[in-house]
Chain A
Amino acid sequence: MSGAPEEFEDVVRLFAAPLFRYCLREVGDPALAEDLVQETFLRTYRTMMNGRPDDVAAWLFGVARNVCREEHRRKPDPLAAEPASKAPAEHEQLSAAMESLDDAERSLLHLKHAEGRSCREIAEMLGKPLGTVTAALARAYRKLRERMQ
């Protein structure tokens, strides 16, 4: 990314929905999740204007994760952080397992399952070889399966 505002807009359009779903799962409130996605893009705007990071998905998901953590710290009330899922035990188990993944792996799982994208689409989206994406995804699944057993 050369840093043109239009390209930043492309990144927003590509990642707004995945980041929203990620934040919604973290905070459980759609309006707040939207604010947190906005905050994520605001924090990354200047960096992206100077050039796109190698793994933009991992980077954005990393920032979103920090933004959500700050929100949890700001509102420690457990009611405020109630998950959007209807199955709390499953939600907690998956959340704990997802925490053990790195940002790149977590972003891949979101693109695959929240967005329903194929590995080829993800590879094109991230500008990476297909083999790199499938290998990383397989690694993420393996780790997740081990943690969830």
Chain B
Amino acid sequence: MTCHEVRGELELYLLGESGRSAEIQRHLDGCAACTRECGRAAAMLETLDRELSLPVAEGLADRIVARVRRPRRAWWVAAAAVLAAAAVIGFLKPARLDGIRATGSFEVVSARRLAWKAGTVRVEVERRAEPAVVETPSGEIRSDEGTFEVRDMKTSLAVAVLAGMVTLAGRNLAAGETAMLGGEPVPVKQEAPRQPPPQDPPRETPAMPPKEPPSKQDPPKQEPVPPPVRSEGLRIAVVDLKKCFDPQKSLWAREFEATLNKVIADMESDLAALDKRIRDLNEQIRGIPDRNSQLFMDKAKDLKIAEIQRELTRRMNQTLLQDRRRELANKVYGEISAAVSLIAVQEGYDFVLRMEEPALDEAVTETATARIVNRVVLYAGERFDITGRVIERVNQSFERKK
């Protein structure tokens, strides 16, 4: 084989997929330039393995099948209904949606996710595996099942739940409830009596019709302000979970780190044993003068098996390590969570907010984006921080249990 031919098949040779492995091996034994190129090919394969083999969540295909196949019918039905209602409501935007009927000015981000644009948007959500999400500049509105309206209130958005349940910035709203999202705080006034949920509201006459430009004859009407949420007197604390996971501070985290290091050391030892076997076999093969002998063939076969074993062990170790890390992190988090709950009950906190998200699953979430997106509290005064007391209690639980 020529150098050109060999270099065209180096990766397949390294992967054991070339039909001319013996010829390539013979060429490599006598060609330093192609051997160097072979090293580059091996490094590139390593990069491809590392870069492309990302984890996939369980049940992905089932979820996609459920979302893609089933909603097709729903889409046509929804589109027909939307078009039929368009003449009544004034502006409707038919869209491909998975069990969501939405009217008003919005963009479709995906089959279960809309982006609010302007005016009033009315959303009816059928139950699916995933909640429906409406993105707004002030935050997300989620619903597993229900009907709600999002209305522009100039500096904020009003969300009115007509049926079912809606989650707004972590707070659940039931049918008949209204809340504000973002903007200036609404002044606390006398709480308005809660309206009972409407009984099966007719689609042609929604409870909050979309805003129409006022005619010149009609005086502008004052928008009704939804009842404010009472929040005086709430006791709030914050916890820095990252510090709680710091092995310098937390005994559980220290044990977590030590256990993980031992797992890694065991894995490296396994790999080192396989590396040694591969080296030994290479030595033995080099010492066999007759390359057509049965002994040479047997040793070459053993070498290939050892290399495959090494690769399999490496890949399996990666998965096992990830699982072990997740399992240990969950265990440590369980201790932290229990300590937070105890302190909250004993000291009378209504809310304990997270300041930092620990890297529970580095392979997926440890990116700057995830860290930023997962932040809940951007600032809290020191007097609200109970991290020290949480670590103290977590350490006490460690000493008790160990």
Q: Using a CB-CB cutoff of 8 Å, which residues 33-49 of chain B contact chain A?
A: 40-41, 44-45, 47-49
A45, B64: Cα distance in complex, Å: 12
Q: Given A17-B60, A29-B369 in contact, is the A113-B52 Cβ separation under 8 Å? A: yes
Contact B61 A21 (CB under 8 A): no
The chain B residue with its CB closest to the CB of A15 is B61
The count of chain A contact residues (Cβ–Cβ below 8 Å) is: 51
**Distance (whole angstroms) from the CB of A49 to the closest CB of chain B:** 9
**The one of B12, B61, B96, B110 that contacts A17, using a Cβ cutoff of 8 Å:** B61
- Quick one: CB contact mask for A77-107 with B, threshold 8 Å, 1 for yes? 0011011111100110010000000000000
Q: Is A57 an interface residue (CB 8 A)?
A: no
Contacts of B64 in A (CB 8 A): 12, 16, 34, 37-38, 41
Contact B68 A145 (CB under 8 A): no
Q: Is A73 an interface residue (CB 8 A)?
A: no
Contacts of A20 in B (CB 8 A): 56, 60
- Quick one: CB contact mask for A129-149 with B, threshold 8 Å, 1 for yes? 000001001100110110011
Contact B68 A45 (CB under 8 A): yes
**Distance (whole angstroms) from the CB of B368 to the closest CB of chain A:** 6
Contact A90 B51 (CB under 8 A): yes
Q: Is A127 an interface residue (CB 8 A)?
A: no
Contacts of B67 in A (CB 8 A): 38
List the one stretch of B3-11, B283-291, B343-351 in contact with chain A.
Answer: B3-11
**Distance (whole angstroms) from the CB of B83 to the closest CB of chain A:** 19
Contact A12 B61 (CB under 8 A): yes
Contact B53 A145 (CB under 8 A): no
A137, B52: Cα distance in complex, Å: 16
Q: Given A82-B368, A149-B40 in contact, is the A118-B53 Cβ separation under 8 Å? A: no
Most buried by A among B11, B72, B112: B11
**The one of B15, B44, B60, B369 that contacts A82, using a Cβ cutoff of 8 Å:** B369
Contacts of B315 in A (CB 8 A): 116
A144, B72: Cα distance in complex, Å: 39
Q: Using a CB-CB cutoff of 8 Å, which residues 298-320 of chain B contact chain A?
A: 315
Contact B41 A141 (CB under 8 A): yes
Contacts of B12 in A (CB 8 A): 119, 134, 137-138, 141
**Distance (whole angstroms) from the CB of A59 to the closest CB of chain B:** 16
Q: Is B367 an interface residue (CB 8 A)?
A: yes
Contact B65 A94 (CB under 8 A): no
- Quick one: CB contact mask for B361-402 with A, threshold 8 Å, 1 for yes? 000101111101000000000000000000000000000000
Contacts of A148 in B (CB 8 A): 44, 47
Q: Is B151 an interface residue (CB 8 A)?
A: no
**Distance (whole angstroms) from the CB of A118 to the closest CB of chain B:** 7
**The one of B9, B44, B113 that contacts A35, using a Cβ cutoff of 8 Å:** B113
A61, B288: Cα distance in complex, Å: 47
Q: Is B54 an interface residue (CB 8 A)?
A: yes
A108, B111: Cα distance in complex, Å: 29
Q: Is A52 an interface residue (CB 8 A)?
A: no
**Distance (whole angstroms) from the CB of A50 to the closest CB of chain B:** 14
Contact B40 A145 (CB under 8 A): yes
The chain B residue with its CB closest to the CB of A80 is B369
Contacts of A28 in B (CB 8 A): 367, 369
Contacts of B372 in A (CB 8 A): 79
Q: Given A9-B69, A118-B17, A145-B40 in contact, is the A109-B48 Cβ separation under 8 Å? A: yes
Contact A13 B65 (CB under 8 A): yes
Contact A21 B52 (CB under 8 A): yes
A80, B109: Cα distance in complex, Å: 15
Q: Given A118-B17, A138-B9 in contact, is the A9-B65 Cβ separation under 8 Å? A: yes
Most buried by B among A138, A141, A144: A141
Contacts of A53 in B (CB 8 A): none
**Distance (whole angstroms) from the CB of B272 to the closest CB of chain A:** 24
The chain B residue with its CB closest to the CB of A95 is B51
Q: Is B57 an interface residue (CB 8 A)?
A: yes
A135, B211: Cα distance in complex, Å: 62
**Distance (whole angstroms) from the CB of B60 to the closest CB of chain A:** 5
A41, B60: Cα distance in complex, Å: 13
23 examples of A-B residue contacts, CB within 8 angstroms: A5-B69, A16-B60, A17-B56, A20-B60, A25-B52, A34-B64, A35-B112, A38-B68, A41-B68, A82-B368, A85-B50, A109-B52, A113-B49, A113-B52, A114-B54, A119-B17, A137-B11, A137-B17, A138-B8, A138-B9, A142-B7, A142-B8, A148-B47
Given contacts A39-B111, A82-B368, A138-B12, 9 further A-B contacts (CB under 8 A): A34-B57, A35-B110, A35-B113, A37-B64, A42-B111, A79-B368, A85-B51, A141-B10, A141-B41
Residues of chain B having any CB pair with chain A under 8 Å: 7-12, 15, 17-19, 40-41, 44-45, 47-54, 56-57, 60-61, 63-65, 67-69, 72, 96, 109-113, 315, 364, 366-370, 372
- Per CB-CB distance, the 8 closest pairs between chain A and chain B, nearest first, are A35-B110, A141-B11, A114-B52, A16-B61, A113-B48, A113-B52, A13-B61, A41-B68
